[in-house]
Structure 1
Amino acid sequence: MQQKTTSRLSKLIKSKKAKVGIVGMGYVGSALAEAVKSGGFSILGFDIDSEKVAKINSLGKKNFQATENIKRLEECDVIAICVPTPVDEYNRPNFSILTKAASGIAANLKKGQLVILESSVAPQTTRNLLYPILASGSQLKGSDFFLAFSPERVDPGNGKFNVTNTPKVVSGIDEASLKLATLFYSSFVEKVYPVSSLEAAEMTKVLENVFRLVNISLINEINQFTKSIGIDIWEVIGAASTKPFGFLAHYPGPGAGGDCIPVLPYHLLDAAAKTKVNLKVVEAAAAVNEAQPQKVAQKAVEVINGKFVKNGHNPNVLLVGVSYKEETADIRQSPALKIWKELEKSGMNVSYHDPYVQNINGYTSKKLTSKTVREHDLIIITTAHKKIPYRTLVRSKKPLIDTKNTLSKYRQPHIIRL
């Protein structure tokens, strides 16, 4: 029975007649949709956000619709899950969004469909969490549907790499699922890299993100030491980067943000704890990253106390850039927002400018003019968007904390680096 079903879905994929459902139309789901569309498939996007659904449908793109109606999953041949897998306030994995999506899929799952999880998770999540929900909720046997895991590698704001030209790691719960998932992604991705198990693919994404967090935290700690003895860490990084092997540059800053780099290590720590394995390096790196926004806020307090007499008013601080990385509007786990919170705890009035984020938490992005700068006692560059008029900041002579070394060519006393 499975061989016949495999043959049917394989033919649909090869002929581009397979209809693709994408559950979760955020950054990852939207990027995947564009790539799938370039491969010639019809797409049905699913999201609980009615405004997002309406916006997609208003574009009138051929063969690309969106809906809130989960029952329409029955129309699809391939279903990709692209929902967030955050951590809670105690940094424990929160799978509520994933399990809700999985339950909705299970209730509408039909024989012969291929379900692919793209959300970032720790090893064994696809097999031990997702699969049982799909199997029990659909009352289908494991051989009646196909299950794969292929970690998303979307990099918001990256103008060079996208879904189609970034190698795709693919895995399946069985050989048939792996072959179908490989065939599907090969239809629109330049290079597909199959691996032996779901767990190997899950761990691939975990390793990628933990590697980044450990090195970002390392350079932020090293920066504290080099600064204490008068060494310019940026000069050191530049010199170390001349080595053509064995070194990959990472840079100090306000901390790593986004829904992957600062989050996935906690998924790993949770999984490791269940096997009684202590990952001390990962744990330390996560702690360093958590503390980095506080260090920026402490620096702000030092600058304010060293430069100003408050004259009865709380200092006004302008954050320049609040998204978690450059050239994107994504604010998830943004260090800037954590810095904002710490500054307010210290009694400062905070406002912001960001060309990509117009509104946040009841605040509106201020236009970055000379007048705006004059109205603030301190400026902090937290995200170095290209669209920001940096000359306006430099000319103001107002104290400026540059957490990204954006103004490295300006050696002026009012510009303070971390």
Structure 2
Amino acid sequence: MTVVREYDPSRDLAGVEDVERRCEVGPSGKLSLFTDLLGDPICRIRHSPSFLMLVAEMGTEKKEIVGMIRGCIKTVTCGKNHDSPKLNDVVKPLYTKLAYVLGLRVSPSHRRQGIGFKLVKMMEEWFRQNGAEYSYIATENDNQASVNLFTGKCGYSKFRTPSILVNPVYAHRINISRRVTIIKLDPSDAESLYRLRFSTTEFFPRDIDSVLNNKLSLGTFVAVPRGSCYGSGSGSWPGSAKFLGYPPESWAVLSVWNCNDSFRLEVRGASGLRRVMAKTTRVVDKMLPFLKLPSIPSVFKPFGLHFMYGIGGEGQHAEKMVKSLCGHAHNLAKEGGCGVVATEVAGEEPLRRGIPYWKVLSCEEDLWCIKRLGEDYSDGAVGDWTQSPPGVSIFVDPREF
């Protein structure tokens, strides 16, 4: 008998951590990524508007946790409402209530018994009870067991294939181009910019203000040409509305989220030779920082990361602006003691060429699968989002990375 119930931190923590450890062990001789949630199994969902964690328990007298699943619900943009009245020729976003499934784990000794399927169905029932119209999951494209479960048994369909781009944090700071000025926005101004410019981007969270005001948000930064009227020094920022009304020739924006205080990562299964080679690059980089040699951070012991989100911009040199912002984010991560800087963007995102990353650390094709739970959108029935073609950009919520 398998019982699925809500996670109780007072009695389930040890069992959940044991399943996490057993599930993170990869095939013999191959690299695997271990995630340390720092003693808080719900840390990756607790900042969402609504969240739940379920555990699967077996046994009568001696009960054992054999699986768990996490889920959260929020309201996001799913398209553009072309039929609604326009305000200043701006197309209004169309919102839907979206649920996200993450952290599905089943103990290796209890797989192929339908436990994962039962956990998913119980979580989906909670989604429906709370008004979610769609549910989606993110998984590795080559994780065949996960893909088969969701697309084969649970009725999900392959939806989007974004890219996770990861760049190491070097021992030296990255120099920002002198032709670029970086301006830090206050949260209210950042909210205004995102709502005015990105509110019709897929997966844009309606509660973007909660994201930007969260304690884990390290700030929103805009890059502009130094010679422009906005790049002439302090006091030159006119506010987001005026800035977007009269933008410079090229500009870019991104925000930074501190994952370092939520969880740590560790690469396991590396050979001694790989470890020595990685350490050598760090030693050389630290001894000769003026050479600006790329180095591999110490990823074979627990390390943290900063996540870049809300990446966008316009103009001929927007890619260069994004590159400067990524350099600034790298320096913030270095100050914060992180091992890597990461982001996730649509596969066709035009600005991704300005994002530095190492292919060996990145995932060129992540897989998002989606399922329709309700019949109509909350803001007007315009069709089935699962059938819509992908756009050039997506807005990845840092609370779910």
TM range (shorter): under 0.3
Higher strand share: 2
Q: Which structure is higher in helix share?
A: 1
- Higher alpha-carbon Rg: 1
TM-score normalised according to structure 1 size? 0.24
Larger relative contact order (C-alpha < 8 A, sep ≥ 6)?
2
